[in-house]
Amino acid sequence: MYPLRRLLLPVLMLIIALQVVRAQISTPSFDWDQRWHNYLYRTYSFERITLLALDTGFEHLVTPEHSRDIRQYPEQYGAALARRISRTTVEFGLGGLLGEDIRRRPSNKSGVMNRTLWAITHSYMGTDREVKWRPAYSRLAGTGAAFAVGSRIRERPITTGRIGEAYLGSFLFNMQDSVLNEFQPDFQRIGYGMARKWLRALGLRR
C-alpha cells in the first residue's frame, strides 16, 4: 500500500500541475488588474492550494521514518503556505513596480531540443514594459523572502550555504515548471489521444 501511495501522489501532482500551467499562458499586456488576479490565482486558487498540499504530503512521506509523524504535517503545510504567500506577494509588488511580467510564455519554436533549451534558459526570466526579456528580479527577491520566512518559522539560522541551497532549489523548480509549461499542450494531446483509445476499446466511442 505504501509504494502505491508514493506513486499516486506524484501522478496527482502532475495532473494538477498541467491544469495550473494551462492557466498561466501569458498575454503581452499585464496591467495591475491582471497582475492582481494572477497573484490571487497563484497564491490562493484551489488548484494551487491542492498542489501545495500534495507536494507537502509527498515530501512528508519521503522523510526519514523517525520524523514521518502525521501530526507534523499541518505544521509543514503551514510553513509551505507561508513561504508561498511571502514569495508571490513580493513578486506581485516588486514585479508591478518594475513593470515585470514573469508569467510563462510558449516558445513557438519547433523541435524538442530547441523548445527544451528555450524553456530552461527562460525559466528565471521575465519581460519588461517593452516586452523585452531580462532576468526576473522580482522572482529572485521572492525566493529570498520565502527563504527568510521559512527560516524564521523553523527557527533555523540564515547562512550562506542555506541561502545557496534555497536559490538552487528555486532554479531547479522553475526550470521544471518552465519545461512543463512549454510541453503542456503536447501532454494534453497525448492524454486526449489515450483517452479516446481507451473509450474505443471499451466500446464507448467509435
155-166 residue pLDDT tens:
999 999 999 999
Q: Looking at residues 76-82, what average pLDDT do you find?
A: 92
**Percentage above 90 pLDDT, the chain:** 55
- Kindly report, residue by residue over 90-119, the tens digit of the pLDDT: 999 999 999 999 999 999 999 999 999 999
More confident residue, 89 or 55: 89
Contacts of 16 (CB under 8 A, 6+ apart): 47, 50, 51, 54
Per-residue CA distances from 15 to 9, 37, 198 (Å): 10, 23, 18
**pLDDT of the residue at 13:** 53
- Whether 84 has a pLDDT exceeding 80, the answer reads yes
